[in-house]
């Protein structure tokens, strides 16, 4: 078990939430450094944090056991963790299944989540002057477009988790997205496969300990 991992994150960041789940699934010890996405104009824009991560985004993983390497972007972090700490694996061993998992996770992280991310919503209501009602309509539109595709894609797992009886890479991306959907009071009844997968994960310790409300910087 490594004790040399540091995760820069924010309790409500769904991307950081993904990484917390992955770290917990692997049983890895890590310390957290909170970076508030709203306070002080967004602490991710501070000179101190920019020096660590020029992308000015969360999360960021620092591995002091590997020369202090800094890894940005949540999916890159998940891939890194799976390569450096191989057991238990986050991805299936069979290439086709592994590709199917990656495809759904990428759809969540790269197609769905960015359109509903904090900086996009802030731009809509700030610079563009969009009303709160219109912003929420935007959120729900892209959420449902994305989740409908995930729901259809889950048919290949035949009611199982992505690793059979065990969650991994896919679930680490899916559960935070559902958390966000529930925050915005989105109706999820059209997604029984997603809800069934989530129900099997959310009571597990790895997911419960990664939940936003139990993080040290939760407000």
29 CB-near residues (< 8 Å, 6+ apart) = 1, 2, 3, 5
Q: Please enumerate in sequence order all residues whose Cβ is within 8 A of that of 197, keeping only pairs 6 or more positions apart, or say none.
A: 154, 157, 161, 171, 174
Architecture of domain 7-88: 3-Layer(aba) Sandwich (3.40)
pLDDT of residue 2: 44
Distance CA(102)–CA(89), nearest Å, equals 14
In DSSP terms, which residues pair with 164 in a beta bridge? 161
Q: What is the pLDDT along the chain (219 residues), one digit of tens a residue?
A: 446 999 999 999 999 999 999 999 999 999 999 999 889 889 999 999 999 999 999 999 999 999 999 999 999 999 999 999 999 999 999 999 999 999 999 999 999 888 887 888 888 888 999 898 998 888 889 999 999 999 999 999 998 999 999 999 999 999 999 999 998 889 999 999 999 999 999 989 999 999 999 999 997
Q: What's the pLDDT score for residue 139?
A: 86
State the pLDDT at residue 3. Answer: 64
Evaluated on CA atoms 15, 20, 21, 26, the torsion sign reads positive
Q: What 8-state DSSP symbol labels residue 117?
A: S
Return the domain boundaries, the chain: 7-88, 95-206
69 bridge partner residues: 63
Return all residues near 82 (Cβ < 8 A) that are at least 6 apart.
Answer: 89, 90, 91, 169
What is the token pair recorded at 159? Answer: 């009611």
pLDDT at residue 122, rounded to an integer? 85
pTM: 0.92
The answer as to CATH 3.40.50.2000 being correct for domain 95-206 is no
Residue at token pair 């610079």: 127
Beta strands 5-9; 69-72: pairing state: unpaired
Cα Dmax for the chain: 49
Q: Kindly report the length of the chain.
A: 219
- Structure letter (DSSP) for residue 213: G
């Amino acid at each position: 078990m490594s004790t040399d991992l540091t995760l820069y994150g924010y309790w409500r960041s769904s991307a950081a939430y993904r990484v917390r789940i992955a770290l917990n699934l692997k049983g890895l010890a890590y310390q957290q450094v909170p970076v508030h996405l709203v306070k002080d104009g967004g602490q991710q824009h501070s000179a101190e944090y920019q020096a660590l991560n020029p992308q000015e985004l969360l999360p960021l993983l620092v591995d002091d056991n590997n020369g202090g390497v800094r890894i940005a972007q949540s999916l890159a972090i998940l891939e890194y963790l799976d390569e450096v700490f191989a057991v238990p694996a986050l991805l299936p061993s069979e290439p086709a299944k592994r590709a199917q998992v990656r495809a759904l996770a990428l759809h969540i992280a790269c197609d769905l989540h960015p359109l509903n991310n904090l900086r996009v919503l802030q731009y809509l209501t700030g610079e563009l002057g969009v009303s709160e009602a219109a912003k929420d309509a935007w959120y729900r539109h892209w959420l449902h477009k994305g989740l409908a595709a995930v729901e259809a894609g889950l048919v290949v797992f035949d009611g199982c988790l992505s690793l059979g009886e065990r969650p991994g890479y896919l679930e680490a991306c899916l559960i935070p997205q559902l958390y966000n959907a529930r925050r915005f009071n989105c109706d999820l009844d059209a997604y029984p496969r997603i809800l069934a997968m989530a129900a099997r994960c959310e009571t597990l310790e790895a997911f419960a300990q990664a939940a936003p409300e139990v993080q040290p910087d939760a407000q």
